[in-house]
Amino acid sequence: MNQKSILVVLGALLVGVVGYFIMLSQKETVQVDKVAGCVISDRVSIVGNEFPAIQTVGKGAQACSGAEVTTNLTADHQKINVAGMSGNPAEYTSAIIANSSIVALMNNDVIRPLDNLVAKYGKDLKKNQLITIDGKVMAVAFMANAQHLVYREDVLKKIGVEPPKTYEEMLEAAEKIRSAGIMQNPVGGAYKAGWNLAQEFNNMFLGYGGSHFKSGSAQPNVNSDAGVKALEMMKALSAYMNPDFLTHDSNATNAEFRAGNVAIMNMWGSRAATLVDADGVSDEVKNGMNIAGPMTVGGGSTPASTLWWDGWTVSKNINEAEAEATFVAMMNAIDPAILKDEDIRKQAVWLIDGYTPTDAARGVFAAAQANTIPYPMLPYMGLLHTALGAELSDFMQGKETAAQALADVEAAYIAAAKEKGFL
């Protein structure tokens, strides 16, 4: 994946997000009708994440008749999707992926170009849905995403502060909430060791103006002033989190918010939209929840967040009949008619024709408006992300300095990058 490819992919994301602002101003109404019946003749097997919008897509594919459609939607999807698509034939015929996870699939050459299938079955797809790499369509995007502030407006009013616009203000608010005896651990964070912890670092690192790699190379650049400052801010925030924060992914963090134990957190737009819809959430939490754009840090103007898209691919290691069945089933899954269901419409910032944004989508829009940086789409970024997830927990537990943790990250990354031929 060369630099030109990366720019094309990122451009697809940005065009898609910006397109929503156009729709907002035009208030465009699109007439949609459900395709009459989805009939396939060969197996479809889907691997992907577990959150509600992805589950909706999985169910949409399973609505097809004529052949079995199976799904494995799990938080461990990134650990199994490459292996599951590497067999011959592949275990999975489609992987639902994002900016980050498509890189590993491309690097391992396990997904196929979709141009012929788009021409045959995807004529209604919008240009901003076609993730094009080296001139070939490699994925179909169906939603945009970003992490941004979710907060309890009622709690902040009790302590007399405005919603934080910076992480420094978030720390001040957290201390006031604790000192007032309202909540002991008012900050939520998806800091689970591994992918989640690494992503929170990426957010903060970019907010401090960091660059993951030295210019024009695959040499790591996280053991830097920006890297140290990012870790120190994360450590400061963790003092106001549940003591088990290194085990908390977005599911656990959202559960804490629903239970009334968290007042301020950085959360995915795809999760925020349905955050308080679960059974048993008190009216106090439901009525108090509010959303704002991503925060900045360290006096910078770049949000400490990243822009994302989510979409689906088709395996290279399956026959043509299975590939066609998979494409047809996935097209059925993102048919505009699903947006007639209000609960589904609220699940995501959909890149689907006919989508009109919900109030919950404004956090993602705010991220785009603030020029939030897209997640780095470099072929070796996945190796660095893995190294960050594996090596940062020792610092978060007070076992080593920030500089040592980042040195360990770079050493682990360099070893992996040399093995893959990037260095």
Rounded Cα gap, residues 130 and 140, in angstroms? 5
Element (H, E) at 290: strand 289-291
407: which residues sit within 8 A by CB, 6+ positions away? 223
* Inter-residue contact 347 to 274 (CB < 8 Å): yes
Interstrand relation of 187-188 and 264-268 (parallel, antiparallel or unpaired):
parallel
* Inter-residue contact 270 to 53 (CB < 8 Å): yes
Rounded Cα gap, residues 144 and 351, in angstroms? 7
Rounded Cα gap, residues 293 and 269, in angstroms? 10
Neighbours of 192 (CB within 10 A): 24
Q: What is the DSSP letter of 357?
A: -
- Closest Cα to residue 93, out of 70, 123, 114? 70
For residue 153, what pLDDT is reported?
98
The yes-or-no answer to whether 3-145+307-369 and 146-305+374-420 have a common fold is: yes
* Inter-residue contact 98 to 310 (CB < 8 Å): yes
Q: What is the pTM of this model?
A: 0.84
* Inter-residue contact 71 to 92 (CB < 8 Å): no
Rounded Cα gap, residues 338 and 50, in angstroms? 18
Q: Helices 381-391 and 195-207: crossing angle, nearest 10°?
A: 110
CATH number for the segment(s) 3-145+307-369:
3.40.190.10
For residue 78, what pLDDT is reported?
86
Alpha helices in 28-166 (DSSP H): 52-62, 77-84, 99-107, 115-121, 153-159
CA atoms within 13 A on the CB side of 60: 25
Element (H, E) at 72: strand 69-73
For residue 344, what pLDDT is reported?
92
For residue 273, what pLDDT is reported?
77
Question: Where do the domains of the chain lie?
Answer: 3-145+307-369, 146-305+374-420
286: which residues sit within 8 A by CB, 6+ positions away? 276
Concatenated DSSP letters of 361-377 = GHHHHHHHHTTPPBP--
Q: What is the mean pLDDT of each run of 10 residues along the chain (423 residues)?
A: 44 47 38 57 96 94 96 92 95 94 90 97 90 92 94 98 98 98 97 96 98 95 98 98 96 95 95 84 95 97 94 97 97 95 90 85 89 88 95 98 98 97 95
For residue 32, what pLDDT is reported?
32
- Which tokens in the block code for residue 35? 């395709």
Rounded Cα gap, residues 85 and 245, in angstroms? 32
In CATH terms, the superfamily for domain 146-305+374-420 is Periplasmic binding protein-like II (3.40.190.10)
Q: Which of helix, strand or coil describes residue 421?
A: coil
Task: Provide the terminal-to-terminal Cα distance of the chain, rounded to the nearest Å.
Answer: 15
Q: Helices 99-107 and 77-84: crossing angle, nearest 10°?
A: 30
Concatenated DSSP letters of 146-168 = EEEEEEEHHHHHHHT-PPPSBHH
For residue 354, what pLDDT is reported?
86
> Partners of 69 in the beta sheet?
44
For residue 379, what pLDDT is reported?
87
Report long-range pairs for 220-229 (Cβ below 8 Å, ≥24 apart): 220/384, 220/409, 220/410, 220/413, 220/414, 222/384, 222/388, 222/406, 222/409, 222/410, 223/403, 223/406, 223/407, 223/409, 223/410, 224/406, 227/402, 227/406, 228/402, 228/403, 228/406, 229/298
Residue 291 C-alpha from the chain's centroid? 17
